[in-house]
Copies of this chain bind each other. A is one copy, B any other.
Amino acid sequence: MAHFDDASILETTVSSEHVFDGLILHIDHITNRLPNGKLAAREVARHVGASAVVPVDDAGNVWLVKQFRAPIDRILLEVPAGKLDFKGEDRLLAAQRELQEETGLTAKSWTHLTDIVTTPGFSDELISLYLARDLEAGESHPDDDEFLNVVKVPLVELTAMIARGEVTDAKTICAVLLAEKAMRG
C-alpha cells in the first residue's frame, strides 16, 4: 500500500465523442490520458440533476412517495424528488416544486443537507438533498404520466426500516440518515 498526492492520480481528457441521446441520459465516450501516459476509454452519461426532500411534520412523520420504477420493475419507497427542469435550475426551487407536486406539501423551513453524486463511475448526476420542516398540507398535482402514493412513516421507524434493508433507494437512505443527524443537532 502506498500513499500518493492527488496529482499522481489525475486524468486529462484527450478527446470526446458524443455517442447517444436518450430520454434522460446523454452519453459521451471520452478518451483520457492516465497518470502513466496510457490512454483509457471512459463512459460519461450526462444527466440534468435533481433535488430531493425529507419532509418531516410536527408529529415526527416523514412524508414519502411510493412509485413504480421501470428500471428495476418494482414499486419503491422514496423521498419526494424530481429532475431539474433545466441544467442550472435553482435546486431549492426545484425541491419545493417537486415536494408540492408529489405530496401537496409546502414548507416554511428548509435546510440544505448535502449534495450527492449517485453514480460517479458512469454518470454526472448530482442530487441536492433538503430537510423540510413546518409543513402545510395542500393539493398535490403530479405530472400526467406520474402515478404515486403518499405514505407517512415516523422518522424513527423509517431509520429502522433502512437498517433492516426495507428501503433501498440510495438518495432516500442518504437524505433520511442525514436529516436524522441534523435534527439531533
B170 touches A66 (CB 8 A): no
Convert A17-47 into 0s and 1s, putting 1 for each residue whose CB lies closer than 8 angstroms to a CB of B.
0011011110101101011101011111101
A70 touches B32 (CB 8 A): yes
A38: nearest residue on chain B (CB-CB)?
B145
A170 touches B118 (CB 8 A): yes
Shortest CB distance A57–B (Å): 12
Convert A60-85 into 0s and 1s, putting 1 for each residue whose CB lies closer than 8 angstroms to a CB of B.
00000011111111011010000100
| Residues of chain B with a CB closer than 8 A to A169's CB | 116-117, 120
The contact of A118 among B6, B44, B118, by CB within 8 Å, is B118
Main secondary structure of the interface of A (DSSP, over half): mixed
| Residues of chain B with a CB closer than 8 A to A149's CB | 3-6, 8-9
Complex CA distance for A165 and B73, rounded to whole angstroms = 32
Q: How many copies does the complex hold?
A: 2
| Residues of chain B with a CB closer than 8 A to A122's CB | 24-25, 47, 71
A67: nearest residue on chain B (CB-CB)?
B9
A3 touches B151 (CB 8 A): yes
| Residues of chain B with a CB closer than 8 A to A182's CB | 163
Complex CA distance for A118 and B78, rounded to whole angstroms = 12
Shortest CB distance A176–B (Å): 10
A residues sitting closer than 8 Å to B (CB atoms) are 1-6, 8-11, 13, 19-20, 22-25, 27, 29-30, 32, 34-36, 38, 40-45, 47, 50, 66-73, 75-76, 78, 83, 103-104, 114-127, 137, 139-140, 144-145, 147-151, 159, 162-163, 165, 168-171, 173-174, 177-178, 181-182
Q: Which 9 A-B pairs have the closest CB atoms?
A: A42-B70, A69-B120, A23-B43, A40-B145, A9-B147, A116-B170, A114-B165, A177-B177, A71-B124
